[in-house]
Amino acid sequence: MDYIKIFSPATVANVSCGFDTLGFAIANLGDEMTFVKTPTKRVDITEITGAELPYDINSNAAGVVVQKMLKDAKADFGIQITMHKGFFPGSGLGSSAASSAGAAFGVNKLLGNKFSDLELVKYAMLGEEVACNSKVADNVAAAIYGGFVLVRSYNPLDIVKLPTPKKLRLVAIHPQIQIRTEDARKVLPDQINLKDAITQWANVGGLIAGLYTKDYKLIGNSLEDIIVEPHRKKLIPHFNKVKNAALNAGALGAGISGSGPTIFALCESDEIAENVSVAIEKSYRNVGMDFEIYSSKINRKGIKILHSY
- Catalytic residue ranges: 128, 181
Cα torsion 113, 117, 118, 119 to 10°: value is: 30
Burial class (CB in 10 A: 0-12, 13-18, 19+), 160: middle
Residue 220 to residue 255: CA distance in whole angstroms: 11
User: Strand, helix or coil at 189?
Assistant: coil
Residue 128 to residue 97: CA distance in whole angstroms: 6
Residue 290 to residue 59: CA distance in whole angstroms: 30
User: Strand, helix or coil at 230?
Assistant: helix
CA dist 268 → 3, 159, 169, 205, 249 (Å):
39, 26, 6, 20, 12
Contact (CB, 8 A) for 120 and 85: no
CB neighbourhood size of 21 (10 A)? 21
In 3D space, the residue among 303, 235, 282 whose CA is nearest the CA of residue 33 turns out to be: 303
Cα torsion 137, 142, 145, 147 to 10°: value is: 150
- Largest interatomic CA distance in the chain: 59
